[in-house]
Structure 1
Amino acid sequence: MNDTRTALVVGGGIAGPVAAMALAKAGIEATIVEAYPGGADGVGGALGLAPNGINALAVVGVDEAVRAAGQPMVAMVLQSGTGKRLAELRTAPDLPTPQFVNRHDLYRALHDEAERRGVRVSFGKRLTGLHDDGAAVTARFADGTTATADVLVGADGLRSAVRPLIDPAAPGPRNCGLLNVGAAVPDTGLAPTAGAMHMIFGRRAFFGYQVFDDGSGGWFANLPDQRRMTAAQARELGVPHWRNVLHTAFADDRGPALDLVDRTADDDLLLLGATEDLPSVPTWSHGRVVLVGDAAHATSPSSGQGASLAAESAVELARCLRDLPHTEAFAAYETIRRPRVEKIIAMAARTNSAKAAGPVGRVLRDALLPTVMRRFVTPEKTAWRDAYRIDWDTPVSTVAVAA
C-alpha cells in the first residue's frame, strides 16, 4: 500500500509537468517548483518525440495536445555527403507517428494542460537544500522560503540541483564531442519533404532537416568538436563566426545545408553548445527523494529519445508510488527503468561516434550502413524501443519487479 499523498516536483521543463500530471492520476497531489522566474516560452531548439514517448503521454491524456504542437515525422532518410541514399527508416504502421516539435511548443502544451488540471506551479524557486526527517522532506529555496511534501521528485535536468544533494559523489554530464547548432526557417525555399526527416552524414559534420507542407522547416547540425563549450560561450563567438564554421563544414556536401543556413535569420540561429549525456547515475533515490528524466538518465540528442524517456520515467514513477510505499516504489521504479534507459544512452553514444567519423571511418560507415540498417534496424528489431508501453492498469508489486 502506498504512503504518498503529496509530492514536490523540482523542475518545470518537460519531465516536471508530465510527472505532476501522472502523480495526480495516481491520486498524489503534486506541486511544481521552477528555479527560473518565468516560463521557458521561446527557449530551446526542436526535438523528436518517438512512438514510445507518445504512448507514455497518452497514459496521462496529453498525447493529442502534443500532436497539435508538432509536425508528423513519418520517416528518416539517411544520406551520405556525396548524396548517396544510405537507408530509409519508417515507423511500424501500428505505432504512433513520431513528432517533430519545437521544445518551447512542447513545454507550452504540457504546462497549459497541467495548469488546466489544477497543478500548481511556483516560479523563482531555486533549490539550495533539502531536509528529510523520515516522515517528510522539506526543500529550501534561495528566496528564503521552504516547501514540504511526502516525497520530492528531482525533474531538474542534466545539471540537476537535486542529484548532488542526494549523492555528493554523483557524476556530472559527459561531453559527447559534438557541438549543436540549429534553427527554424519560416521560408526554406524547398519542396516539402512529405513528413521525412533527412539526415546527412557529411564529410566534416552531420546535418538534419525537415521541410513542412507550408514551406517552413527546421534544421540542425552536429559539428565534431571536443571543446566543452556552453551555449553562452558559443553565443559569445558571434553569429558570423558560426556561419563561417557551418559553410566550411558543409562546403563539399551535396544537399541543402548551405541554403538553409543562408536562409536562417541571425536572431533565429540557435547556438546550443556541446552535446552531453549522463551514461549512468549510481544513485537515483535517497530517503524520500528521487530523480526523474535527464536528472537521472540524460541521453544525447542523437537517440531521438530524450523527451520520450523522460515522459516514460515520469509515468512509471507515478505508477510505482501509486501502488507501493515510497522506499519500495523508488526501488521498483529504478529496477524497471535503469536497464532500458542506459541501453538507449549507449546506443546514442555509438551514433555520436558515427557522426564524428574520420576520413577512413567515414568510408567504412557509408559502405556498411545500408547493410546494417537492413539487417538490424527493422521495425521488428527496434520494437523493444519504439513499441514500449507502460501498463498503467496493472498494479506494481515488489515480487513482480524482482522476478
Structure 2
Amino acid sequence: MNDNDGRGSGVRTALVIGGGVAGPVTALALHKAGITATVYEAYPAAADGVGAWLGLAPNGQAALATVGADAAVKAAGQPVPGVVMADGAGNHLAGFGGFPELPATLTLPRDRLFRALTDRAVAAGVRFAYGKRLVAAEETPDGVTAHFADQTSATADILIGADGIRSTVRTVIDPQAPDPEYGGVLSFGGYAAVGSAPGIEPGTMYFAFGRAFMGYWQGPDGRPIWFAGLPTDTPPSPADLARVPAAEWLSRLRDLYAGHVPGERLLQHTSPDALMVVGQMERMPSVPHWYRGRMVLVGDAVHAPSSSSGQGASLAIESAVELARCLRDLPTPGEAFAAYEAQRRPRVEAIGRNAAAVNKVKAGKEEAHASAFPTPEDMFRPLHFHRIDWAETVHAGRG
C-alpha cells in the first residue's frame, strides 16, 4: 500500500546508493510514496558485526514509525531514558529523567540497526544489490544511469546518494564539494567488567566532561559500555589506525584518563579484546549543493553532524522521510529537491554547529564549564520533539 495519488513529481523509480541507515529508510519512504527504489550497496554483503554502539533519539524513532520500522528497531535496542551531566571528578552537575510523553532514547549496536532496517525494507518489497560500488553517473532529460565498479549499470528516474560521509554521489553532484571535517579526536568504545563502576543507574546515560570526556551506561548484560576520545591533532590513516595493537590504544587511553572518575576505573577493567577502535570523529561542514538535476543527497552524505550530537542516525531518518514527501507532492524532481533542502538545511546545520562546539571541548581546544551547557531538558526538547506530518501536503519552497 502506498500514498501516491498522482499528484507528485512523475518519479516512479529511484536508485538509492548506500545501504546503511539512510538508504533503507529512504527506500521505505519512497515505497510509501508510490516510488519503486532499489538500494545499491558497495560492500559484498550486509554489514553484520560492523560498527560501534549508537543512540536513536525519540525524533528518529517517530520518523521510523512513519515508514513502519519503529517496532523492529525497538526490539533490537536498549531503552536509556535518563541523562546525567557530570565532571571528571565524579560530581553530578545536572540530571534528566527523559520526557514522559516520549519513548526513551534507544542504544544499540550500529549493525543491529542496519539489519533491522534492511529486513523491514526487504519485507516491504525493496530490492538490495550488494557489491555495487558507484564509480560514475550520467544524466539524461528523462533519468539517471549509475555505473558500478563491476562494469554493470542501472537506470531510474532519479538517483539518491545515501552513501555516507565519504559520499561518491556528493562529488558527482559537485566535484568541489567539501570533504569531512576532522574533529580533533580519535573515537573509541568498549565494554568494562561487570561491577567495575559502582553507582551507574540502569537506564541512565552519563556524560562526564573534564580534562577528557567520557560517556557511559550499563549495557543489557550488566557490563558498563563506554565511549571516549583521544585528542590527536594529526590523525593516523585508517590503515595506520588498524596497525596499532588494541593494547597500545588502551595504554594511551589509560594515561589520558588517569584520575578521571569513573573513566580510570572503566579503562582498567576493559580488556584489549573488548575495545572498539571507532576512528576519526568527523562531521560534514555546510555542503553548498544538496542536489543537481535528477541527483540528490540524504543523510550523512550531506549533513553528518558527528557523534557528539547524538542525532546522526535520527537526522538521516528524518531527511529520508522528508525527501519522499517532497517527491510525492511536487511536480518535478527539481522542485521536490529544492523544497527538501529548504525544509532540512536549517535544522541539520544548527545541530551540526552545536556538535562542532562540543567537539572542541572533547579535543581539549576549549575548557568545559557547567555554565556553558544548557540543562539537559533545554538541550533535548527541540531535538526530541521534532515530528514529521506525513499526511500534510508539501508546497514549493518549503516542507
Q: TM-score, normalised by structure 1?
A: 0.92
Offset of residue 235 of structure 1: 2.1
Instruction: Note if 1:197 corresponds to 2:200.
Output: no
Secondary structure (helix, strand or coil) at the match of 2:377 reads coil
- The answer to whether the 8 A contact 1:202-1:250 is kept is no
Counterpart CA distance in 2 for 1:114 and 1:231 is 31
After alignment, is 83-92 or 336-345 more displaced? Answer: 83-92
Q: Does 1:70 align with 2:73?
A: no
Q: 1:165 to 1:32 in 2, by over 3 A?
A: same
The one-character-per-residue Cα deviations of 1:222-254 (angstroms, maximum 9, x if unpaired) are: 122222334432221211211111110111112
Q: Which residue of 83, 99, 103 maps to 1:96?
A: 103
Post-superposition offset of 1:343? 0.2
| Alignment partners' CA distance in 1, 2:226 and 2:28 | 31
Contact 1:86 1:366 (8 Å CA) reproduced: no
For 1:359-378, what aligned pairs fall within 5 Å after superposition?
Answer: 362=367, 365-369=368-372, 372-374=373-375, 377-378=376-377
CA RMSD of aligned residues (A): 1.8
Residue range with higher mean Cα deviation, 228-237 or 342-351: 228-237
Shift of 1:268: 3.2
Alignment equivalent of 2:308, drawn from 302, 305, 321: 302
What per-residue deviation string (whole Å, max 9, x for no partner) do you get for residues 296-317 of structure 1? Answer: 1111100000000000000000
Q: What is the CA distance between 1:154 and its match in structure 2?
A: 0.2
| Residue 272, structure 1, aligned to residue 271, structure 2 | no
Change (3 A) 1:179 1:259: same
* 1:155 and 2:162 matched: yes
1:347 counterpart residue number? 354
How has the CA–CA distance of structure 1 residues 313 and 7 changed in structure 2, closer, same or farther, with 3 Å as cutoff?
Answer: same
Check the 8 A contact 2:15/2:37 in 1, yes or no: yes
Shift of 1:188: 5.3
> One-letter code of the match for 2:203?
G
Rounded Cα–Cα distance in structure 2 between residues aligned with 1:58 and 1:79? 33
Other-structure match for 1:125: 132
Offset, 1:209: 0.9
SS in 2 for 1:398: coil
Which amino acid in 2 is paired with 1:280? S
Instruction: Give the distance between the partners of 1:70 and 1:216, measured in 2 at CA.
Output: 16
Q: CA deviation at 1:86?
A: 1.5
Specify whether residues 329 and 186 from structure 1 end up closer, same or farther in structure 2 by C-alpha distance, changes over 3 A only: farther
SS in 2 for 1:175: strand
Residues 154 and 289, structure 1, Cα contact 8 Å, conserved in 2: yes
Q: Give distance in 2, aligned partners of 1:279 and 1:294.
A: 11
Partner of 2:141: 134
Instruction: State whether structure 2 residue 239 is matched by structure 1 residue 235.
Output: no
Alpha-carbon distance in 2 for matches of 1:341, 1:210: 27
Asked if 1 retains the 8 angstrom alpha-carbon contact of 2:287 and 2:302, the reply is yes
Cα distance in 1 for residues equivalent to 2:235 and 2:80? 31
Contact 1:231–1:272 (CA under 8 A) maintained in structure 2: no
Unaligned runs of at least 5 residues, structure 2: 1-7
Q: Deviations over 1:237-289 (max 9, x none)?
A: 2112111111101111121x234334434333211221110120001101110
Mapped partners of 2:369, 2:89: distance in 1: 10
Moved more, 216-225 or 118-127: 216-225
- In structure 2, the partner of 1:112 is 119
Q: What's 2:392 paired with? A: 394
In structure 2, C-alpha distance between the alignment counterparts of 1:230 and 1:97, rounded to whole Å: 36
Q: Which residue of 1 aligns with 2:319?
A: 313
**2:89 aligned with 1:82, yes or no?**
yes
Deviations 1:322-372 (A, max 9, x none): 1112111000000000010000000001111222346xx53xx34525xx4
Structure 1: gaps spanning 5 or more residues: none
Residue 186 of structure 1 deviates from its aligned partner by 7.1
Match in the other structure for 2:181: 174
Q: Which amino acid aligns with 1:249?
A: L
Structure 1 residue 67: Cα displacement: 1.1
